[in-house]
Amino acid sequence: MPLDRLGRPLRDLRISVTDRCNFRCTYCMPREIFGRDFEFLRREDLLTFEEITRLTQLFAHLGVEKIRLTGGEPLLRRDLESLVEMLAHVKGIRDLTITTNGSLLTREKARALKDAGLHRISISLDSLDDDVFRAMNDVNFPVQRVLDAIDAANEAGLWPIKIDMVVKRGVNEKSIVEMARRFRGTGHIVRFIEYMDVGTTNGWRMEDVVPSREVVERIGREWPVEPAHPNYFGEVAERWKYRDGEGEFGVISSVTQPFCGSCTRARLTADGQLYLCLFATEGHDLRQGLRHRASDEEILDAIRVAWRGRDDRYSEIRSSETAGLAKVEMSRIGG
Ligand code: SF4
């Protein structure tokens, strides 16, 4: 298992299966940039399911145990359950999950993903206030349909269901307690995510960040809470549990409490570029080798060399100097 320059192992691989999305969330894919004329990846640019599976086998050989499928919106990729089935059979993968906006997650789809071998699911929902949510996704998509998707995932047994909410000051912080109230006692885990300066298009400002500390305080004023131990080394969310036993929630504090020291995540774009950090400016092309008859050992070496050379810790060095970096867009690597 290769270690990077900061002694971190490679454990998690996030695989983007498409750079397209049917939402235009203002903090990720603003419509002004990702409009009608935006050139998304062509079909032939995308890794095939066989290529993704081969890469996953090689990453598993190097220690990867957890796979998260992302996008854009991953359920836009046709017949995704076939890929899930292929990945579910990869030796060494113990945790297979997906992050989706829920818009295409019907009962049939949830059941099909579960039957194919998906273990669990994360569904994004930034507010229960319909006007706020419709404005944030910027395609007028209603809250109720995401709640229906959460029910569909629940019925299919894709547990635990994590519900990801990006909190932006002046936009949806009033929804924090409402979200906590709605999912307390359900077994579902809300994760409150600090608004991040991902990519180069979302106009990020520090004053728009609601620190996780404030999120915990707001919830703690309603119900007594206490910190809970991480489930594993490198877990992204800091866990908090309700003292009355009504479950837990998480906060993801990339801006105010960076966690780069335990970051074991690599990211693969839909066209086969390996990124070593969410805020990286460059990737390592793995598709070239796949499509030019490289041997498994040659591709393993390419991954090893990339990972061993990794010293990324963007969130720890974020400053006015890093503000202008040409960081990869979130919709290309899926968070
Ligand atoms: S900023 Fe980069 S190195 Fe730090 S936790 Fe995020 S992805 Fe990992």
pLDDT in tens, 157-172: 999 999 999 999 999 9
**Looking at the domain assignment, is residue 309 inside a domain?**
yes
Average pLDDT of the chain to the nearest whole number: 97
**Looking at the domain assignment, is residue 234 inside a domain?**
yes
**Looking at the domain assignment, is residue 4 inside a domain?**
no
Domain count across the chain: 1
CATH assignment at residue 44: 3.20.20.70
Measured from the Cα of 280, ligand 1's closest atom is 2
Using the mean position of ligand 1's atoms as its centre, give its distance from the Cα of residue 311 in Å.
10
- Say how far residue 259 (Cα) sits from the centre of its chain: 15
**Looking at the domain assignment, is residue 183 inside a domain?**
yes
pLDDT digits (tens, 9 = 90+) for 188-212: 999 999 999 999 999 999 999 999 9
Measured from the Cα of 313, ligand 1's closest atom is 3
pLDDT digits (tens, 9 = 90+) for 258-311: 999 999 999 999 999 999 999 999 999 999 999 999 999 999 999 999 999 999
Mean local confidence (pLDDT), 103-113: 98
**Looking at the domain assignment, is residue 6 inside a domain?**
no
Using the mean position of ligand 1's atoms as its centre, give its distance from the Cα of residue 4 in Å.
13
Measured from the Cα of 259, ligand 1's closest atom is 5
Among 265, 322, 327, 330, which residue has the most ligand 1 atoms within 8 Å of its CB, making it the best to mutate?
Answer: 265
Using the mean position of ligand 1's atoms as its centre, give its distance from the Cα of residue 302 in Å.
21
- Alpha-carbon span 298 to 310, nearest angstrom: 19
- Alpha-carbon span 129 to 167, nearest angstrom: 13
Using the mean position of ligand 1's atoms as its centre, give its distance from the Cα of residue 122 in Å.
19
Among 238, 313, 330, which residue has the most ligand 1 atoms within 8 Å of its CB, making it the best to mutate?
Answer: 313
Predicted confidence band of residue 131 (pLDDT cuts 50, 70, 90)? very high
Domain extent for 183: 12-333
Strands, E assignment, the chain: 12-16, 66-70, 95-100, 121-124, 161-167, 189-194, 225-228, 238-242, 248-252, 265-268, 273-275, 284-285
Please state whether the peptide bond connecting residue 230 to the residue before it is cis, i.e. omega within 30 degrees of 0.
Answer: no
Structure tokens at 284: 């390592």
**Looking at the domain assignment, is residue 98 inside a domain?**
yes
Which amino acid does the sequence have at 302?
A
The set of protein residues with a Cβ atom below 6 angstroms from ligand 1 is 254, 259-260, 263, 265, 277-279, 312-315
Measured from the Cα of 314, ligand 1's closest atom is 1
pLDDT of residue 320: 84
**Looking at the domain assignment, is residue 3 inside a domain?**
no
For the packed helices 107-116 and 80-88, what is the interaxial angle rounded to 10 degrees?
A: 30
- For 70, the 3-state DSSP assignment is strand
Q: β-strand 121-124 against 161-167: which pairing, if any?
A: parallel
Which of 164, 165, 176, 162 is closest to 216 using CA atoms? 176
Which of 267, 283, 235, 308 is closest to 55 using CA atoms? 267
Cα first-last separation, the chain: 24
For the cut 90, the answer to whether the pLDDT of residue 321 exceeds it is: no
Using the mean position of ligand 1's atoms as its centre, give its distance from the Cα of residue 202 in Å.
18
For the packed helices 130-137 and 143-156, what is the interaxial angle rounded to 10 degrees?
A: 90
Q: Contact, 232 vs 174, CB < 8 A?
A: no
Buried-exposed string 117-155: b where 16+ CB fall within 10 A, e elsewhere? bbbbbbbbbbbbbeebbeebbbeebebeebbebbebbbe
Using the mean position of ligand 1's atoms as its centre, give its distance from the Cα of residue 325 in Å.
15
Q: Contact, 169 vs 207, CB < 8 A?
A: yes
Using the mean position of ligand 1's atoms as its centre, give its distance from the Cα of residue 79 in Å.
31
For the cut 90, the answer to whether the pLDDT of residue 1 exceeds it is: no
- Alpha-carbon span 213 to 190, nearest angstrom: 15
For ligand 1, atom 5, the nearest C-alpha belongs to 260
CA angle 323, 236, 113 (to 5 degrees): 110
Q: Contact, 270 vs 47, CB < 8 A?
A: yes
**Looking at the domain assignment, is residue 115 inside a domain?**
yes
Mean local confidence (pLDDT), 81-90: 98
Q: Contact, 276 vs 266, CB < 8 A?
A: yes
Using the mean position of ligand 1's atoms as its centre, give its distance from the Cα of residue 115 in Å.
33
- Alpha-carbon span 240 to 251, nearest angstrom: 8
Q: Contact, 328 vs 281, CB < 8 A?
A: yes
> In which residue are the tokens 């006007």 written?
131
Measured from the Cα of 236, ligand 1's closest atom is 5
% of the chain with per-residue pLDDT over 90: 96
